[in-house]
Structure 1
Amino acid sequence: MNESHLSYLASPAWAETLRTDLLPWLRQVADLGDDVLEIGPGPGLTTDLLLEVAGKVTAVEVDHDLATGLRERLHGRDVAVVHGDARAVELEEGRFSAGTCFSMLHHMDSPQVQDELFSRLHALLRPGAALLGVDSIDSEMIRQGHRDDTYVPVDPGTLEDRLRAAGFTDVTVHRPNQHQFRFHARKPAPFS
């Protein structure tokens, strides 16, 4: 992630945007439960919000420095920060009450790698658990902000089919504004 982009993601302005935009949506769309998995927290402003609405958070961050900084900053809170690639880190399958990925999918190397993450998330979630995410809509402005970064935009028009292919149901993808899309889905619960 380039320094300019990283600085913005750690800024008070971004924290306020998350608090006024993302947090109400999280509260409205699903009960996150007692054990939430967050993929790609970066500097952790989204982790701070998750700790307000969930019992425990496990944050998986691929960048060593970001993971170390987040672990140090949140020491003593009910969060475990795991350094590694979420597709491969050792976590208990079927454990998590919800999964989240906020503005990080476009930092993955390819659509195939993104799909591998969706399949892994399906395995890690409990039956009936929600998957929630937000990502940016591809535009020249977003591309400029990701100069010298990995930038593989997700096409919101294909995301529903991709999540269904990973095993999710009740998939909803919507665009609340011209800059981002949001999605939520559910791992099916077995019939009783």
Structure 2
Amino acid sequence: MNQSHLTYLASPAWADTLRTRLLPWLRDRVTDLGDVLEIGPGPGRTTDLLLELGATVTAVEIDADLARDLRRRLPEATVIHGDAVTADLPAHRFTTATCFAMLHHMPSPQHQDRLFTRLRQVLRPGASLVGTDAIDSPVLRQAHHDDTFVPVDPDTLPARLTAAGFEHIVVTPHDEHHFRFSATTPVTTRR
């Protein structure tokens, strides 16, 4: 992540934006977060909100410095340094998984799809996946200069989540640069 982007994501302004724009939607989508797996928390402003909502949070952060800093700042969360696709996570443990504005930082659509499959494996039956991400645009490409930027096409996301084993998929625009999504795992596990 480039420094200007990282600075913004750690800022009080971003925290305020999350509180006013993400928090109401999150409360509407998931009534009881429970045991949350947060993918790519970065500086942890979303982790703060999840903890405020009473969730037990396990955060997986690929950047070693960010993971270390988050571990120090939020000792009540479990922070794992690693790639969520390959991290040692127990099957069918979590009641909710979150991916807030991080999918576009993954190196390829195939890696994103592997993450979706992995999340399906670690979520309990009937669990929720909720997230937000960026829509491809010149403005966001510029904001990600010298950074990984692999935007997810919101029109293809439902099929990708279905292929990973999710159902009840909803993808909605959030603003001109972002979209939101939610899905659930089937109530019964496949054999």
The interval holding the TM-score normalised by the smaller chain is over 0.9
CA-CA distance at 1:186 after TM superposition: 0.2
From 132, 139, 142, the equivalent of 2:140 is: 142
Alignment gaps of 5+ in structure 1: none
Please list, as runs of the form range in 1=range in 2, the aligned pairs for 1:150-189 lying within 5 A after superposition.
150-189=148-187
Tell me how many residue pairs correspond in the alignment.
189
Report the identity percentage. Answer: 61
TM-align CA RMSD = 1.0
Please list, as runs of the form range in 1=range in 2, the aligned pairs for 1:1-150 lying within 5 A after superposition.
1-75=1-75, 77=76, 79-150=77-148
Alignment gaps of 5+ in structure 2: none
CA-CA distance at 1:31 after TM superposition: 2.4
Residue deviations 1:40-65 (CA, integer Å, cap 9, x gap): 00000000001122430000000000
Contact 1:36–1:54 (8 Å) recurs in 2: no
Write the distance in 2 (CA, Å) between the matches of 1:135 and 1:145.
Answer: 14
Secondary structure of 1:90's aligned partner: coil
Letter aligned with residue 146 of structure 2: D
Structure 2-normalised TM-score?
Answer: 0.97
Structure 1-normalised TM-score?
Answer: 0.96
CA-CA distance at 1:34 after TM superposition: 1.9
Letter aligned with residue 178 of structure 1: E
Secondary structure of 2:42's aligned partner: coil
CA-CA distance at 1:30 after TM superposition: 1.4
